[in-house]
Structure 1
Amino acid sequence: MDWIPLIASTARLIDLHDSNRAAGHAASQYDLYRETRGGNHDGLWLDVALTVIEYLRERENEVVGGFISGTEVREALQKRIAGLTEEDVRFVLSALTTPAEIWFVERMGDGSRPINSTKETHLVERSRTADAYRLAPAGRTAAGLAANVRDIAYIAGSAKNLLTAIKAHDFWKITELSTIIIDVLRTFRLEIETRREGGRRDDVQEFFKERGEVIKEQIEEAAQILVEANEFLSLQSTRDEFQVWVAAMDRAGKPSFGHGYAIEHLRRVAGQTLKLLESFTQLVEESLAVDGNVFQPVSFIDLSASLAAKPFQEGLYFALIRSFGPTRLRRPMPCPFDFFGIIEPRQVADTREEDADSAGVEDLGIRAISIIAEYGASILAELRKGPLSLKTALKREWIRLDTSGINDLSALVGTYCDPSMLGADLNIVVRLGDGREVFEDDRIGRLTFDELIMVMEDA
């Protein structure tokens, strides 16, 4: 990544922001015309900061948007920059995680120019509960700009450039061009998801209404081009030319992609690009399908008045208690077994016929057992393929969306809260995803929840 153009283009803008000059006053008293900035002139701290951003960016896909421990960050930087101490890394991380408010004038379509501000200037985000870090939105944007990220609407052109480089045997350009495509998709997808999670759905919808069809056409065209590029990479003639190029680079003492495995690496890059294109197409479709009438904040005064005037029906009240109301917790998050046998619906005496017993009433704990018995094998099969998110599990219809849907939903979530139910000898861990997700169904309504991801790790 080429960071210097990005930094150079913003240095004087920050100087002007910090000038503290009142409009209409002489500018000579403000030291804006110095040609040498203060501080150490060895570039060390800038180099450490950029290395932190690049390292966190490299690890993003691996940790599924999660945090990287501070120990890992410090060890990685000490390997990349000789003589760096832990305190040096802590100093830079402290600076990168501290927001600094900037003020600006918004240029509105009606001609007005209101003054606004933002504190979303920290490049790295620190976990609130541990010494762990990940890129903040501003950090992702900076990394994307430094990687020459282009407009997503022109991605088909980037794919054509990649195909041309492969056909022309310009092997040194292939990885660079592939990285550009991946950066375009990843950065734009993360930006859209951040806006959706932040409640700015109207902005996302408006953007896709205006440019969604064009972008979708570009993505489909790019996918077709990349399939052709991948096929061309598989030709024996291309592989032979590549080996000749590697040998020539080695003789000249210049760095190449390596030996033997290098052509396979390029094919994997093309395959990864296709996967990103597929996921982005899904993102476009989901964003266009989002219902604009999202829930408004609940007024608890109005809710209390409504419940006082018309209390819950008894059946609904106890259904809610069984689903969401464990009275004691043995784990950080509720599991169906935490309240098995503790909370039971109140039975009304002498209202049933003698031959009508409670055989048809299914206890929540039994429901939890039955859902494992019915779908446990399917869940384990998916886990052996890779991580399984709660949203994906909901889409698999492992819950019966009828009158028992609430109980089924609680039991399914319970497997994420206590994956040992799938097998005590299995090494299954649960991680928090990156932000909130939405699942909708006509029969149970709209669910908004923090994403959970279940992963089966090697013993």
Structure 2
Amino acid sequence: MDWIPLIASTARLIDLHDSHRESGRSTSQYDLYREARGGNHDGLWLDVALTVIEYLRERESEVVGGFVSGTEVRESLQKRITNLSDEDVKFVLSALTTPAEIWFVERMDNGTRPINSTKETNLIERSRTADAYRLASTGRTAAGLAANVRDIAYIAGSAKNLLTAIKARDFWKITELAAAIIDVLRTFRLEIESHREGSQKAGIQGFFKERGDVIKEQIEDAAKILVEANEFLSLQSTRAEFQIWIAAMDRAGKPSFGHGYAKEHLKNVTGQTLKLLESFTQLVNESLTMDESALSPVSFIDLSASLAAKSFQDSFYFSLISSFGPTRLRQIMPCPFDFFGVVEPQRGIDNREEDEDSEGIEDTGIKGIGFIAEHGSAILAELRKGPLTLTDALEREWIGLETDTSNLSELVGTYCDPTMLGEDLNIVVRFGDGRATYAAEGVGRLSFDELVMVLESK
């Protein structure tokens, strides 16, 4: 197990949790940023603690939820760590079995942020009737995180978990598990890039020599499993089960998402996995031989152009891309599936004049306010009649994709932040079922996940 990244990632968070600083006060009097921590600086007690957790995890399959005697724990540790006394083991076991209350802000779906706490922080549980121990739920979680579950060499297992969740009708897990797989893929690329940036050619050669075959096999297996998951999610029976799940979540007042959104999410994961599989050999070769970065940022414009069915005038091209954000993506090697179908342009005549300030810079904030001033009352009127989909909003011409005006970002922004229509209104936005398409004559076609805005009574 690789514990150090897990511990390193939480050290400063614990510092902040334990801080006595009051909000608004100067930070100079608080030594939060010290590089040297207290203690003996020999790592002994941390090593003993991690060894205890690993030993109890090894024994779980034997005891099947039961406890391991304290004598067995001590004897095992003393075999693994020399000069360890019984008192040393008792000291560590006492620390690991004692809960420490932590306080946190809970982020509720209704926007409130109440303060909450938990004492489920003990990593090991001691029997009430004997000197015996087993992993607590928190310890089991920590051991799982340290067992490289987000390592690229375990991606097939992650894909299998996603397939199992779909077959078990645990649809709410789809986005969480899919995001974990994407994180594995991008972390792998970042890991290779970090080796290359540090000119650690020998290290990268050793990395691929030791793990290259295993990693490629795992990616191949993951791709097959994800294709199967896509097929299973597309079944009519699964679609019906999905609708039942959505209805149950609505009755419980819990958030959900449409079947179409789940399919697109899974398609995205599958696409990124297949893309990595296709480029794996090239990625290895480039990482070992090229002097310049093989994983340089990808131009949004170039990538969109390569996917577009037809080209169109540059002036409209840049104005449309600017509505979606920056023209270059800084994350490492985004997959084309991230953008496929977002914009499918056609050639058209562009006489549009940009709204600019005195310095020639378009003021999107002013445009957003202007959009609400022009269309806000009409949007509210439709909301009071019933749910309003993004498709309905487009068809009511609250956005102009023609040559004289374009309010795409302002309209979508209203769905992203409906409080723009009135902070006292209880407006919620949900994903619809599937993808929708909107076509504008002479310009092209927009393809997007359907959004539904609903005005609910308080």
Query: TM-score normalised to the size of structure 2?
Result: 0.37
Query: TM-score normalised to the size of structure 1?
Result: 0.37
